[in-house]
Amino acid sequence: MIEISGLPRTVEPARVDELKGEVLRLLDDFVALYPRPADGWRLMLMPALPRRGRAPDAAVLVVAEKAVSHDWRPALDLRIFRKNGPEFAQVVEETKAPLFVAYDGDDPDQMRRARGDWTVRDMHALAIGSTAAAVRSAGEDRTWRTTHVVAPGIRANGAGRDRGILAALELAIAAELDRVGSDLSWPFGAAILLRAQGTGPDARSDGWAALYDRSWSMGLAPWRSLCLMRSGDDPTIATGEDWTAHELLEAERPIRGPAIERVMAMSRATAAMLVDLKPRTSDDHVHHRRAIVQLMKRQHWSPADRDHRDEDLPIRLTGNLGDLNMRFAEPIGRIAPEVHSSDDATLSDLRRLKGLVVTCGATPASVLAQLRTTDELAVDVRDLIGMDPRTTTPLSVIGHQLKRMVMGLHSPSRTRFFAMVVRQAFEYGRVEATAGPALAQALSDPELGSRLHLTVRTTTHTVGATVAQMRLVDRARGSTSRLDPSGTFRMIVTPDEVILEDRPSR
């Protein structure tokens, strides 16, 4: 093992790999002095240590050993300790550096032991684990402040070596440092850090709406939160780029500061917040309804809410192209099976949908289940962002949904959702694409959703329309199907029809 210290903290991972290669080549030049081990050299490039006499931004004791990679190069000046030993004791006793303990969220005794050794200093807990584990922990009696850290696909006990968990840990630390620096109180017993990367023409609003959807789907109240914002963001939240955070999350006093600035500058996230893990109450459902009404007013709709306390009573939205009914419910998809059947005969003409159902969990499966059950379109709050009362119809809202379904992985329910929209073009719109005959055959193929799949590669938005670049993929042909231009086409969703046409030549 060769350990080299002094690596700049902002160096890119690709550059680290280059440096390792250069060191290995240098060792080959001195093989006579330093014979190569049988299993090869192991290199570890470590960040530069803090200057002598200067306290780091924070000290982090990592007791969840399997969940945090040794190859962690944070943007902050962090002293990272793997053992609760003399070196950590020196930082505790001789500096005023804020202390954090990263532990396995399913094993709170790890935190109890670490905290019990150092009662003279306050320690902030970073619980690493799944979303479900974080929600379960809300009812437990813990005497320390906790930020639960979750990354997509991350579980405690081994999968946390993904860079996502390290980025989330560092942002949680930055949030706590800047919260204390801004003299903001900690309003939670325990909180969970949520991050989102928004897409589309208003990526910031899309990111905040995605966090709202995720919080609500977890059983939490999204407005019981602290939003994290970069220092350069518009301080007038109500009218600036983060107006959605103001309308949905009531973000009057976000956390800002140099630590968040440094971490988010290196992050792809467009929005992040700490959400209280306390389960929501019946009053929160009233608040939820009121927040969505306020969002629609901000986008120049005229919502008529006759009884804002009756969750089952729909709201009527008045727009230039007609009225829309909107109500609130839990997503049917949570109990509906994955959709594999090619029989979508029960789906109505999408132009004649009865209204919208805000579920904050409108997956392709739940959208299809809702349509079969009530002829209503299940939507997320994300789908409401950018809804213009001058150009919006139920069909154009489906176009909005396409932007969050851009994904390379195949899914039976996602294919069925796309097929539903493509079928609209054949029955009520226009088909001008060369791939039209192949698509028509695929729509009636019993293997649609298993062997045959529809995917969306990109989406763009124009005034009143969504344009999706699509592909018909035959898994039996392997990767060559992806390269076959005959299976590509462009789908345009307008307020009153769906059009299939060839992609323009470059």
pLDDT digits (tens, 9 = 90+) for 309-335: 666 688 999 989 889 999 999 888 554
- In this structure, the strands spanning 377-379 and 190-196 are unpaired
Split into its structural domains, the chain has a count of: 3
Query: Of the residues 241, 276, 311, which one is the last residue of a structural domain?
Result: 276
Q: Is the pLDDT of residue 481 over 60?
A: no
pLDDT of residue 35: 79
Residue 201 main-chain phi, psi, to 5 deg:
-65, -25
Q: What value does the mean pLDDT take over residues 269-290? A: 93
**Any domain includes 21:** yes
Cα separations in angstroms, 178 against 80, 172, 175, 191, 255:
19, 10, 5, 16, 7
| 316 and 241 fall within a common domain | no
For 119-169, write each residue's pLDDT tens digit: 668 899 999 988 887 888 776 767 789 999 985 544 333 434 456 788 899
pLDDT of residue 256: 92
**Above pLDDT 70, what percent of the chain?**
83
| 33 and 100 fall within a common domain | no
| 242 and 333 fall within a common domain | no
For 3-27, write each residue's pLDDT tens digit: 776 666 556 667 777 888 888 888 8
Q: Cα dihedral sign for 116, 118, 120, 124?
A: negative
Angle, to 10 degrees, between the axis of helix 258-265 and the axis of helix 163-181? 160
Q: Is the pLDDT of residue 246 over 80?
A: yes
Q: Is the pLDDT of residue 337 over 70?
A: no
| 38 and 93 fall within a common domain | no
| 307 and 370 fall within a common domain | yes
pLDDT of residue 30: 77
| 340 and 259 fall within a common domain | no
| 249 and 354 fall within a common domain | no
Burial 419-454 (b: 16+ CB within 10 A, else e): bbbbbbbeeebebebbbbebbeebbeeeebbeebbb
| 290 and 244 fall within a common domain | no
**β strands within 244-390, DSSP E:** 271-276, 302-304, 315-319, 322-328, 356-358, 377-379
**Any domain includes 476:** yes
Q: What value does the mean pLDDT take over residues 392-418? A: 91
| 67 and 101 fall within a common domain | yes
**Any domain includes 315:** yes
Q: What value does the mean pLDDT take over residues 249-272? A: 89
Mean pLDDT of the chain: 84
pLDDT of residue 347: 59
Query: Of the residues 224, 243, 276, which one is the last residue of a structural domain?
Result: 276
**Any domain includes 410:** yes
pLDDT of residue 27: 82
pLDDT of residue 18: 82
**Any domain includes 161:** yes
| 388 and 454 fall within a common domain | yes
Local confidence band at 342 (pLDDT 50, 70, 90 cut-offs) = very low
By the 10 Å C-beta count (0-12 exposed, 13-18 middle, 19+ buried), 337 is classed as: exposed
**Any domain includes 506:** no
Query: Of the residues 276, 306, 337, which one is the last residue of a structural domain?
Result: 276
pLDDT of residue 19: 83
pLDDT of residue 377: 95
Contact between residue 250 and residue 169 where contact means Cβ atoms under 8 Å apart = no
For 76-130, write each residue's pLDDT tens digit: 989 989 888 888 888 888 888 999 999 988 888 888 888 877 766 889 999 998 8
pLDDT of residue 157: 39
- The least confident of 1-15, 68-82, 359-373 is 1-15
For 412-436, write each residue's pLDDT tens digit: 999 999 999 999 999 999 999 999 9
**Any domain includes 198:** yes
- In this structure, the strands spanning 146-149 and 190-196 are parallel
pLDDT of residue 285: 92
| 239 and 305 fall within a common domain | no
Tokens of 29: 């030049």
Contact between residue 429 and residue 490 where contact means Cβ atoms under 8 Å apart = no
pLDDT of residue 436: 94
Q: Is the pLDDT of residue 196 over 90?
A: yes
Q: What value does the mean pLDDT take over residues 347-354? A: 84
| 145 and 218 fall within a common domain | yes
pLDDT of residue 423: 95
pLDDT of residue 161: 44
**β strands within 48-122, DSSP E:** 58-62, 78-81, 99-104
Domain that holds residue 40: 1-46
pLDDT of residue 158: 40
**Any domain includes 477:** yes
Tell me the chain's radius of gyration from C-alpha atoms. 26
Q: What value does the mean pLDDT take over residues 351-368? A: 93
Q: Is the pLDDT of residue 410 over 70?
A: yes
pLDDT of residue 151: 58
pLDDT of residue 150: 85
**Above pLDDT 90, what percent of the chain?**
48
For 452-475, write each residue's pLDDT tens digit: 999 999 999 888 899 999 999 998
Local confidence band at 54 (pLDDT 50, 70, 90 cut-offs) = low
